[in-house]
Amino acid sequence: MKYVLLAVSSAAVLIVLLIILFTISSSWTSISANGILDFIFGDVWAPGREDYGALPLIAGTILVTFGAMVFAVPVGLASAIYISEIAPAKTRNVLKPLVELFSAIPSVVYGFIGMVVLIPVLKMFFPDQQVFSNSWLAASLVLGVMAMPTIISVSEDAIHSVPQSYREASQAMGATKWETIIKVVVPAAISGISAAIILGIGRAIGETMAVLMLTGNSPVIPEPLWNVFGLISTLTGTIALQLPESVAGSVTQSALFELGVILMVMVLAVNICARYVIKRTNRKLGNADPTKSLLFRITGRTSLLPAGSGLMDKASDHKGELMTLFLFALVFVGVWMFASLLTSDLYSLIAAVVVVAALAAVLKVFSGVNSTERQKVCFGGLTVVMGFVLLILVVIIGYILINGLPVIDWEFLTTSPTPGGRGGGIFPAIVGSLELIAGTALIAFPLGILTGIYLNEYARNTPYTRVIREAIDLLNGTPSIVFGMFGMIVFVRYAGMGYSMLAGWITLAFMILPVIIRTTEEAMKSVPPELREASRAMGATKWKTIYKVVIPAAMGGIVTGSILSIGRAAGETAPIMLTAAVISQPNLAGSIFEPVMALPLHLYHLAMDLPGTTDLQYGTATVLLFIVLVFFVAASLIRSHYNKKVRW
């Protein structure tokens, strides 16, 4: 069994190698024709005129991600502090699953909400600036909401993992709870918080459908650069929009794959930074040996600063003043740039000065208030932020249900769309989505669970095992659109499957594989070693101990992770639009080698291509949201059930 599991685990390495190989090889025609530097720094993207400059797309990706972080980071960090440090234990156990619910909502639903709710609101507040229906401001706000659960969850874990002795020591010195949080707990968890922000950036960079629906897909650099009301285009949106229509083997298709290579490099860099920061956190808390770091192996030192330089001490002595100056500069620049879009340069500067002066006055007054009153104000502010996050969730789900439930009836659920898609029901899309879910589970569950078993129960810290883990991490950070590109080339074209359920199954299975592996490994890691020792003492073999003792004990975590991963697959659009799903198909697929309709792609088609189908859009979004939420609720109930049975 050990060697069987090792062979299965090697699939992750093979998948990563195939993705890299086929993506780079498919982009080679463009690299040869355009060159790498000319392609990256070219400022015109017009495939029809054979102009392949990726700079506007790279800039658009960076701008929309930056805008998302401006919103998501303060809101996410405040929510994480509230959940970890302020909320009672019972409230914390409720809030964390609710926040995780954000990640269960499909990206196409986020894009749809952005179109029908957010853009009209922006037009109401900025009628002269929001000239177009779309903008990178709208895309950034939606991406910020999508990145929030990652930032909140990882930050909360980092804050919660700070030893309780830190808090007790601070409060024993007379500090209030708020002073302890802001001066002890958050600084101690800053590396983990930084990792959360970096992972949130990676989540935003790899997003496809929401930016495709909200940015306007115009490959230009905004003028001025901070014109948040302008149209942009991103790497993921351009690939998803143009790749299905590209000619096989053409320079345009190859250029789109070269965009995929750039996207993979960007996400890989973000993930490497996140992992470095997480390892730094572990070393800071004494959970890792600093002499095993990459810096020590290269330089023989644990710090880049010279010993005894005192630079860190000097910076630490003036950290408060430096942070305040940085905050003022950030607020000044931000207010000036935004105000310059609404009024003249002079008035923009005046507005920036007034805001900074007001902020300085508020901080001055606030510093004079006694610590108890400051704590009440700060705790109240964090509570308001947490309420705002929950309000966003209520608005998203409530708005769709209120408008979608009246549309749903038996005819809507059991009939096919009319020709053109402007009427009829969504029965083929429902069945197609369920077929994709079932086939994906059939492939991904055995591979993922067996790999997780091998890594936790058999794998030693060998070079090959480390390669397997690296491959799994790479798969976990790979954007969904890259999986779609890989599936399109390998399964649809090279393997001759065409657009088919089978191609979609394999592509989606590869995409959710790392989630199943990680959750399985973590669930089995939580099983006490004493249970294994007791089984072996009774004469059981290692494998018999695993499947008779360890797997049943870890079943709650395994099932929960598997269900959540399938829920994610149910809401994916980008991979299936390149491998398995078609816009309209009146009949069900007759075999696994035929394409299917799917709810995410059907919703995208209704929202983007068929104006006047508002009722159908709301009804389709409601059904899709219901299916995904069923998986999430089922996972939560199963996790709760097994947690009650745990006796260790």
What are 335-369's pLDDT values in tens digits?
Answer: 999 899 888 888 999 999 999 999 889 888 877 87
Domain coverage including residue 232: 35-295
Are 422 and 282 within one domain?
no
- Band the pLDDT of 562: cuts 50, 70, 90: confident
Average pLDDT, integer, range 259-274: 84
Contact indicator for 108, 213 with CB cutoff of 8 Å: yes
Residue with tokens 């979609």: 504
Q: Mean pLDDT for the chain?
A: 85
- Band the pLDDT of 286: cuts 50, 70, 90: low
Separation CA 332–CA 326 (nearest Å): 10
Average pLDDT, integer, range 417-446: 90
Average pLDDT, integer, range 202-208: 86
Average pLDDT, integer, range 279-284: 62
Separation CA 182–CA 30 (nearest Å): 51
SS3 label, residue 45: strand
Dihedrals φ, ψ of 217, to 5°?
Answer: 50, 45
Are 282 and 412 within one domain?
no
**Can you list the pairs that 494-497 forms with residues at least 24 positions away whose Cβ atoms lie under 8 Å?**
497/593
Give residue 318's pLDDT.
Answer: 61
Residue 45 bridge partners (DSSP): 52
Neighbour tally for 586: CB within 10 Å: 13
Domain-located, residue 1: no
Q: Which residue has the higher pLDDT, 199 or 380?
A: 380
Separation CA 464–CA 10 (nearest Å): 9
Contact indicator for 185, 177 with CB cutoff of 8 Å: no
Give residue 436's pLDDT.
Answer: 93
Single out the residue in 280, 295, 310 at which a domain terminates: 295
Is it the case that residue 444 has pLDDT exceeding 70? yes
Give residue 531's pLDDT.
Answer: 87
- Band the pLDDT of 294: cuts 50, 70, 90: very low
CATH number at residue 211: 1.10.3720.10
pLDDT per position as a tens digit, 570-579: 888 889 999 9
Is it the case that residue 81 has pLDDT exceeding 90? yes
Domain-located, residue 374: no
Its pTM stands at: 0.88
Residue from 97, 203, 91, 79 nearest 150 by CA:
203
Q: Which amino acid is at 587?
A: N
Domain-located, residue 221: yes
Are 125 and 256 within one domain?
yes
Neighbour tally for 191: CB within 10 Å: 20
Give residue 306's pLDDT.
Answer: 52
Give residue 284's pLDDT.
Answer: 59
Q: How many domains does the chain have?
A: 2
Domain-located, residue 379: no
Domain-located, residue 346: no
Average pLDDT, integer, range 530-535: 88
Domain-located, residue 378: no
Single out the residue in 277, 295, 313 at which a domain terminates: 295
Separation CA 303–CA 308 (nearest Å): 11
Q: Is the dihedral of CA 43, 47, 48, 49 positive or negative?
A: positive
Query: What residues contact 361, with CB distance under 8 A and at least 6 apart?
Result: none
Domain-located, residue 224: yes
pLDDT per position as a tens digit, 298-328: 455 555 445 444 544 554 556 667 778 888 8
Contact indicator for 355, 331 with CB cutoff of 8 Å: yes
SS3 label, residue 417: strand
Separation CA 274–CA 192 (nearest Å): 9
**Size of the chain, expressed as the number of residues it contains:** 648
Give residue 351's pLDDT.
Answer: 92
Separation CA 25–CA 257 (nearest Å): 9
Give residue 305's pLDDT.
Answer: 47
Q: Which residue has the higher pLDDT, 248 or 66?
A: 66
Separation CA 598–CA 384 (nearest Å): 39
Is it the case that residue 479 has pLDDT exceeding 90? no
Q: Is the dihedral of CA 214, 218, 219, 221 positive or negative?
A: negative
Structure-block tokens of residue 467: 């390669």
Domain-located, residue 173: yes
Give residue 285's pLDDT.
Answer: 54
Is it the case that residue 566 has pLDDT exceeding 90? no
Burial class (CB in 10 A: 0-12, 13-18, 19+), 462: exposed
Dihedrals φ, ψ of 581, to 5°?
Answer: -105, 145
Mean pLDDT lowest among 52-61, 68-77, 294-303, 468-477: 294-303
Structure-block tokens of residue 283: 């070393």
pLDDT per position as a tens digit, 484-504: 999 998 899 888 888 999 999
Average pLDDT, integer, range 195-210: 85
Residue with tokens 């659960």: 149
Separation CA 285–CA 279 (nearest Å): 10
Are 415 and 267 within one domain?
no
Give residue 325's pLDDT.
Answer: 86
pLDDT per position as a tens digit, 89-133: 888 888 888 887 888 889 999 999 999 999 999 999 988 888 888
Give residue 569's pLDDT.
Answer: 86
Separation CA 345–CA 95 (nearest Å): 44
Single out the residue in 237, 263, 295 at which a domain terminates: 295
Residue from 599, 526, 511, 530 nearest 560 by CA:
526
Are 479 and 601 within one domain?
yes
Are 265 and 413 within one domain?
no
